[in-house]
């Protein structure tokens, strides 16, 4: 089916998810291989669970200074080009005759910031399902005022997620305040936002899974605002910590870092094991003689090969790894009916 874009339809899907004890997953993408991995994982999971019209959200940041994904999408480094290709690729991929036609796909604009993203913010947003209007780097009262203003002007056009508190960088030095239930309740009451990103201890762009997600605080927030919490920074905690998010009042989870972080070692491993096919005998001999590769690298083929020196090979390795990661999250957050009964 076509993208779910109408605000009323998007809000209805979030209500349905709460009823069905689902947490709606949202995966960021900055290239076509990632977008396809997300949709292919969702289609496989739909088949396996029998949830034919499975919901999934694909997202992109635009000029977000920590990761401007629309600009990274093409070598032009123009956000308009990247966002346009990303958005149109979804229409093409969701062709009624294609493999993803039954999915209910939403498209989300992530970490859109007043200032760097003013041009986007002043444009027509009706081609997107939801937006994170992110004024969380401003003082709380200013954040509330700006978010409330945006919600009032645009809520007829797009579902709005606000950011109550900043989610900090894994390598940053900034303070990291966990969102309090009082503050969350004030944020939701005063802004009128549909959803709210809370700081629950996770961090962005983490290189490992060593942090603690504060589920107890999430449940306290849930008691005040309902199932309206959005969790970011999931890649910074072990999957076991985010297995019961519905109970915690989390309506939506945004994921990106782990897709890329776990795909690179898979590709690297495969390239090393196929060194000659990837890079040719001359390059592998040079790297062996300088100590970067061991002697076994020279036994990995007789010459460079189309099966291994093409972009298609590199993209497929990344795609397969990302698809597996996405499937793992879908199993956590969109479980099917258990064989032993509901």
Of 125 and 167, the one with the shorter C-beta distance to Zn ion is: 167
Of 202 and 274, the one with the shorter C-beta distance to Zn ion is: 202
In 156-289, alpha helices (H): 181-191, 215-225, 257-273, 275-289
- φ, ψ at 113 (rounded to 5°): -110, 130
- Piece in contact with Zn ion (CB under 5 A), picked from 51-59, 133-141, 227-235, 328-336: 227-235
x-marked contacts with Zn ion along 76-115 as a string, rule CB under 5 A? ----------------------------------------
d(CA 125, CA 133): 12
- Piece in contact with Zn ion (CB under 5 A), picked from 6-14, 138-146, 173-181, 232-240: 232-240
Q: What is the H or E stretch that residue 230 is in?
A: strand 229-231
Helix (H, G, I), strand (E, B) or coil at 165: coil
Of 137 and 315, the one with the shorter C-beta distance to Zn ion is: 137
Q: Determine the longest span between alpha carbons in the chain, in angstroms.
A: 67
d(CA 156, CA 7): 7
Nearest approach in angstroms of CB 256 to Zn ion is: 7
Q: Is residue 252 within the footprint of Zn ion (CB under 5 A)?
A: no
Among 104, 205, 222, 232, binds Zn ion (CB under 5 A): 232
- Piece in contact with Zn ion (CB under 5 A), picked from 32-40, 117-125, 153-161, 229-237: 229-237
The residue whose Cβ lies closest to Zn ion is 232
- Piece in contact with Zn ion (CB under 5 A), picked from 12-20, 99-107, 207-215, 231-239: 231-239
The full length of the chain comes to: 342
Of 183 and 205, the one with the shorter C-beta distance to Zn ion is: 205
Interface with Zn ion: number of residues (CB under 5 A): 1
d(CA 128, CA 3): 9
Residue 79: both structure tokens together: 């956000």
Exposure of 46 in the CB half-sphere (CA atoms within 13 A)? 18
Binding site for Zn ion (CB under 5 A): 232
């Amino acid at each position: 089916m076509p993208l779910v874009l109408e605000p009323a339809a998007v809000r209805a899907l979030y209500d349905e998810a709460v009823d069905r004890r689902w947490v709606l997953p949202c995966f960021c993408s900055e290239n076509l291989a990632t977008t396809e991995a997300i949709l292919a994982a969702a289609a496989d999971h739909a088949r396996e669970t029998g949830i034919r019209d499975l919901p999934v959200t694909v997202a992109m940041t635009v000029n977000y200074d920590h990761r401007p994904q629309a600009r990274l999408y093409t070598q032009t480094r123009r956000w308009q080009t990247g966002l346009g290709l990303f958005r149109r690729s979804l229409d093409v991929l969701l062709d009624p005759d294609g493999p993803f036609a039954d999915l209910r796909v939403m498209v989300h604009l992530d970490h859109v910031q007043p200032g760097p993203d003013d041009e986007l913010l002043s444009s027509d947003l009706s081609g997107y399902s939801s937006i994170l209007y992110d004024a969380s780097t401003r003082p709380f009262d200013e954040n509330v005022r700006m978010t409330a203003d945006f919600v009032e002007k645009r809520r007829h056009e797009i579902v709005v997620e606000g950011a109550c508190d900043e989610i900090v960088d894994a390598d940053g030095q900034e303070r990291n305040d966990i969102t309090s239930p009082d503050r969350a309740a004030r944020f939701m009451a005063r802004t009128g936002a549909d959803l709210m990103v809370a700081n629950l201890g996770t961090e962005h762009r983490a290189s490992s899974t060593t942090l603690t997600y504060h589920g107890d605080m999430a449940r306290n927030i849930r008691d005040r605002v309902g199932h309206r919490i959005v969790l970011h920074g999931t890649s910074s905690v072990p999957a076991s910590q985010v297995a019961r998010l519905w109970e915690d009042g989390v309506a939506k989870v945004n994921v990106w870092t782990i897709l890329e972080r776990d795909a690179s070692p898979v590709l690297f491993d495969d390239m090393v094991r196929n060194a000659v096919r990837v890079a040719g005998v001359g390059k592998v001999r040079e790297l062996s003689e300088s100590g970067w590769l061991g002697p076994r690298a020279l036994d990995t083929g007789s010459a460079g090969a189309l099966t291994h020196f093409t972009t298609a090979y590199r993209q497929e390795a990344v795609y397969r790894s990302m698809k597996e990661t996405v499937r793992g999250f879908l199993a956590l957050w969109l479980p099917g009916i258990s064989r032993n009964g509901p």
